[in-house]
Copies of this chain bind each other. A is one copy, B any other.
Amino acid sequence: MKRVLVTGASGFIGRQTLEPLQRRGFEVHAIGRRAGTASGVIWHRGDLFDAHVVTTLFKSIRPTHLLHMAWYAEHGSFWTAPENFQWVGATLTVLQAFALHGGQRVVAAGTCAEYDSRYGVCDEQLTPCLPSSEYGACKQAASSLMHAYARHAGFSAAWGRIFHVYGPYEHRDRLVASVTTALLNDRDALCSHGGQLRDFLHVADVGDAFAALLDSDVVGAVNIGSGEAVRIAELSLRLAMLAGRPERLRLGARTAAPSDPPILLPTVQRLATEVGWRPHRDLDSGLRDTLEWWRSTLAASVKETQ
């Protein structure tokens, strides 16, 4: 019997892990800031910063598996927020309760921001970590602690490093969502020069990749990416073409942040070969899905306000 507890299960990525986990035969327990509506999922409530609550939770569920997606993720502030430091401690608390009540296998969410971004291409084995933000530094520390504690307590652990994600429920100020909503609202979509090379993965594929990683016995850091490099300008143009509004795209209208590296790409050999996972959507189908989701979401919100 595989029984998983998913933390951060109502978040942008967490919510996308529930269905793939069920498909893989897990009994799925979830905890998040808002209870979701996914059928067949058992929702729990509780503050992960309260060690007593956490212990009680694990004692009652006794999950064999843990998918730890919870973290502070407020758009804009999450890079430097002091909450990042609190989440290192909360992550340890969760792992200790998990181990204490028979847990066997953990996967947690890491980030490309752990790597030294000057390397451009980020490989789990080759590329040194040198985070430049509080977010990256705390994720890296949590990763080190998780791996050390997993060896100590005798459970299996992997750390999925997320690169660029887009899709339904994305925050409206993030790249793909902001371009999409501008185009659909017939406003200009303001972008930077767009020359940056990135790896974009549809959020449903990110969720599916995490489910596959949890269901494998691969340990250590694993990059979560599509393996396809695309310039931000090209991605924006594809979106604008799909939306039928190429004339609304304004490349160069915004200044790129000086800290924005020209290349930030994962190697995905571990994910493809060891986990045996590949994306279900290519970029065009992922963008089309996203566009459709926003179209119906915006239409629904117009209806609501009428």
Contacts and interface: CB of A to CB of B under 8 A. Distances in A.
A96 B88 CA distance: 14
Interface in A126-147: 128, 131, 134, 137-138, 140-141, 144-145, 147
Contact of A96 (B85, B128, B131, B152): B85
Q: How large is the interface on A (under 10, 10 to 19, 20 to 34, 35 or more residues)?
A: 20 to 34
Residue from the set A85, A131, A151 with the largest chain B CB neighbour count within 10 Å: A85
Contact of A89 (B92, B134, B138, B148): B92
Residue from the set A80, A82, A89, A141 with the largest chain B CB neighbour count within 10 Å: A141
A149 interface: yes
Contacts of A151: 134
A148 B138 contact: yes
Contacts of A152: 80, 82, 85, 134
A88 B92 contact: yes
Nearest to A136: B148
Interface of A: 80, 82, 85, 88-89, 92, 96, 128, 131, 134, 137-138, 140-141, 144-145, 147-149, 151-152
